[in-house]
Amino acid sequence: MQASRFKDAFDLFDRMREEGVELDRFVAASMLSACTGLGALDQGQWIHAYIEKTGIELDPKLATTIIDMYCKCGCLEKAYNVFNSLQYKGQSSWNCMIGGLAIHGQGKAAIDLFKDMERSMVIPDDITLLNVLSACAHSGLVQEGQYYFNYMVHIYGIEPKMEHFGCLVDMLGRAEMFEEAKKVVDEMPMDPDAGVLGALLGACKIHGNVDLGEQIGYRVIELDPNNSGRYILLANLYASVGRWDDVANVRRLMNDRGVNKEPGWSMIELDGAVNEFIAGGEIES
C-alpha cells in the first residue's frame, strides 16, 4: 500500500482470505485505502460489511478510511450515512467528509458542514480549511473562498501553506480573474511551486489567455522539467490559437530533454476483480 502497489495488495488480500486468515482493523484500513486508490467500490463495500458483521472496532482512523473510500468512489450518500452514525466525530472525520463534498463540487454543502463542525466545538486545522477552499474552487464560490482564506488567518491563526495559495489561485483562475490570481502569485510569502503555477496555467488554457499562459508555462516547465504534462499543456495552449512554430519549439524542448509522454491508463472493477488497461493496449481474448 505504501508503495501504491494496489493491485499487488489485492492479490495478497485474496491469498490471505483463501488461507483463512481473519481481517483485523489494520488490514481492513489498508485494504479500504487500496479500494480508494483503485475505485474498487464493490470490494470496499464488502470490507465495510465484514467490519459491521464481525464487530471490528470502528476507531476514528478506520471510520475515516471508510468515509474516504465512499467519497472517492462517488457514493456521497453512503459516506454521509457512515459519518452521521459515528458517536464521536474526530477532526479527521470532519475533514474527510468536507473534502469528499469538495471533490464532488458540493461547495455550499461543504461550507455548511464546516459550520456544523465549528458548532460542535471541533477545532479545524489547516487541512480543514484547505478542503473548504477546494470546495469553493470546484463550485465557483469566489467570494466565499476569499472570505475563508482570510478567516483561516484572522480567526484561527493558521498560516497559509503552498496548497492554500494553490487553491486560491485555482479558484480565481477558474473564474477568469487573472489579474487577481497573478497578484496572489506575485505576493506569496514563498516562491510559488509548480502546483500553484500549474493551476494558473491550466486556467489560462481553459479560458484561452495565451499571453499570461506563455509567461507562466515556461516557469512551470523549469520547475517541473520531467513532467510531460507541463509541456503538453503549453503546447496545446499555443495550438489553440494556431501558433504552430511555438508548438514545435515546445515539442523540441521536450524531446531534447528526453521527456516522454506517459501512456494513459485506467482501471475498472468487474465482478469484484480489478482490471488495468493502458492506452493503445490490446484486449486479450
Angstrom distance (rounded) from CA 95 to CA 133: 12
Q: What is the pLDDT of residue 268?
A: 54
CB contact set of 52 (below 8 Å; sequence gap of 6+) = none
Q: What is the pLDDT of residue 284?
A: 44
Residue 285 belongs to a domain: no
3 state DSSP class of 280: coil
Tell me the one-letter amino acid at 42. Answer: D
Angstrom distance (rounded) from CA 23 to CA 104: 31
C-beta neighbour count of 32 within 10 angstroms: 24
CB contact set of 229 (below 8 Å; sequence gap of 6+) = none
Residue 84 belongs to a domain: yes
Q: Are residues 3 and 70 in the same domain?
A: yes
Q: Are residues 180 and 206 in the same domain?
A: yes
Taking the CA atoms of the chain, what radius of gyration do you get in angstroms?
22
Q: What is the pLDDT of residue 87?
A: 87
**Among 215, 209, 208, 202, which residue's Cα sits nearest to residue 170?**
202
Angstrom distance (rounded) from CA 201 to CA 239: 14
For helices 178-187 and 194-207, the axis angle rounded to 10 degrees is: 170
Q: Are residues 83 and 100 in the same domain?
A: no
Residue 275 belongs to a domain: no
Q: What is the pLDDT of residue 124?
A: 95
Residue 268 belongs to a domain: no
Q: Are residues 177 and 256 in the same domain?
A: yes
Domain stops at, among 107, 135, 159: 159
Q: Are residues 136 and 216 in the same domain?
A: no
Residue 54 belongs to a domain: yes
Domain stops at, among 45, 62, 88: 88
| Domain extent for 205 | 161-260
Q: What is the pLDDT of residue 220?
A: 93
C-beta neighbour count of 42 within 10 angstroms: 15
User: Which residue numbers in the chain have pLDDT < 50?
Assistant: 265, 279, 283-285
Q: Are residues 116 and 136 in the same domain?
A: yes
Overall domain count for the chain? 3
Domain stops at, among 56, 88, 120: 88
Q: Where are the alpha helices (DSSP H) in the chain?
A: 6-18, 25-38, 41-54, 60-72, 76-85, 91-103, 107-119, 126-139, 142-156, 162-174, 178-187, 194-207, 210-223, 228-239, 244-256
CB contact set of 273 (below 8 Å; sequence gap of 6+) = none
Residue 278 belongs to a domain: no
Q: What are phi and psi of 133, to 5 degrees?
A: -65, -40
Q: Are residues 171 and 236 in the same domain?
A: yes
**Could you tell me the CATH number of the domain that includes residue 197?**
1.25.40.10
Residue 132 belongs to a domain: yes
Residue 276 belongs to a domain: no
Q: What is the pLDDT of residue 61?
A: 87
